[in-house]
Amino acid sequence: SNRNAKATQSESAAIAVRRRPRMRFYGRLKMEAIAKHDFNATADDELSFRKGDVLKVLNMEDDINWYRAELDSKEGLIPSNYIDMKRHEYVLCVRSQCPLFYSLHSTTPLTYCSHSFSLFFLRTKSWYYGRITRADAEKLLMNKHEGAFLIRVSESSPGDFSLSVNRCGDGVQHFKVLRDTSGKFFLWVVKFNSLNELVEYHRSASVSRSQDIKLTDMQPEEYLVQAMYDFTPQEHGELEFRRGDIITVMDRSDANWWEGEIGNRKGYFPATYVIPYHA
């Protein structure tokens, strides 16, 4: 069936399910999510669920529209706009094979880039940074308070995860997040069904055996961008702006559409229309 046309009816509106490409699967996140609507699979690789179900998200980096998830020991693809990530404590790490280059004097891309790149960013109360390097993790944490942390995909062991924690005077320490044969996560002895559970436990129990270091969120940082082009909304909920406008970014969890505000106006806008603002 044509997934561009497929939709399901919620209590208040029809929620569109966007077409998805074939994708590769990497490490298993097991981040928890709550289903907002019923979803009935129409392909063998999709996963059906009911509103209110708690799903374990295994992968959300390869396609922003379709995540791989687990429910009742079954795995499959689910539409990302049918769920709410538990506590919304995540940051999407984007890796694109063909980023676009734009001219400040044009609204159309000039060329495609053939090499891959990574983009990572901070979101309020976020701790999952995806595929960033060990060195980048240290840069992010070095000047933060003791216990500031993030979880990232392991560089040395693809498919696994690492916990990076600031120990202040002792620098940044990196812990490999271990998994047993049943897929449970652990650092030492206590095991957990998801990364969420592991993080919550170590907010009150030390991650280190030699020091008392408990996990605490990094403080949110205001992120400002400047419009490179005019943007006229095509749908309700989008943010109109003119070239040169300064926008305060509120949410960058979607790689293509960010949420921001100008004065008392809030809405979504295309990320490719803006650049970081430096006063």
Note whether 93 and 173 are same-domain residues.
Answer: yes
Q: What is the CATH number of the domain that holds 183?
A: 3.30.505.10
Note whether 207 and 152 are same-domain residues.
Answer: yes
For the chain, residues with pLDDT lower than 70 are: 1-30, 61-62, 87-126, 219-222, 253, 278-279
C-alpha 126/C-alpha 110 separation (Å) is 34
| Residue 248, CA distances (Å) to 116, 160, 259 in order | 28, 34, 9
C-alpha 34/C-alpha 84 separation (Å) is 5
Note whether 155 and 193 are same-domain residues.
Answer: yes
Q: Look at residue 66 and tell me if it is in a domain.
A: yes
Residue appearing with tokens 């029809």: 14
Which tens digit of pLDDT belongs to each residue from 134-171? 988 888 788 788 999 989 888 888 778 999 999 977 89
Last residue of a domain, one of 37, 64, 86: 86
DSSP 241: B
Last residue of a domain, one of 40, 67, 86: 86
- Tokens representing 54 are 């708690």
Count of domains forming the chain: 3
Which tens digit of pLDDT belongs to each residue from 18-51? 444 333 333 455 678 899 999 999 999 999 999 9
pLDDT of residue 80: 87
Bridge partners, 227 (sequence order): 274
Note whether 263 and 163 are same-domain residues.
Answer: no
C-alpha 97/C-alpha 117 separation (Å) is 7
Q: What is the CATH number of the domain that holds 265?
A: 2.30.30.40
Contact between 116 and 97 (Cβ < 8 Å): yes
Q: Look at residue 2 and tell me if it is in a domain.
A: no
Question: Helix, strand, or coil here: 261?
Answer: strand
Note whether 114 and 72 are same-domain residues.
Answer: no
Strand order in the sheet with 191-192: 149-153, 161-166, 172-179, 185-186, 191-192
Note whether 161 and 209 are same-domain residues.
Answer: yes
The dihedral sign for the CA sequence 99, 104, 108, 109 = negative
Last residue of a domain, one of 38, 65, 86: 86
pLDDT of residue 30: 63
Contact between 275 and 224 (Cβ < 8 Å): no
Note whether 146 and 72 are same-domain residues.
Answer: no
pLDDT of residue 113: 30
pLDDT of residue 199: 93
Element (H or E) spanning 134, and its range?
helix 134-141
| Percent of the chain clearing pLDDT 90 (strictly above) | 33
Note whether 178 and 247 are same-domain residues.
Answer: no
Note whether 260 and 165 are same-domain residues.
Answer: no
Note whether 167 and 207 are same-domain residues.
Answer: yes
Number of Cβ within a 10 Å radius of residue 56 = 20
Residue appearing with tokens 């060195």: 135
| 22: containing domain | 7-86
Note whether 94 and 207 are same-domain residues.
Answer: yes
Nearest-5° angle of CA 261, CA 262, CA 263? 110
Note whether 113 and 69 are same-domain residues.
Answer: no
| Residue 169, CA distances (Å) to 147, 163, 175 in order | 12, 18, 17
Q: Look at residue 1 and tell me if it is in a domain.
A: no
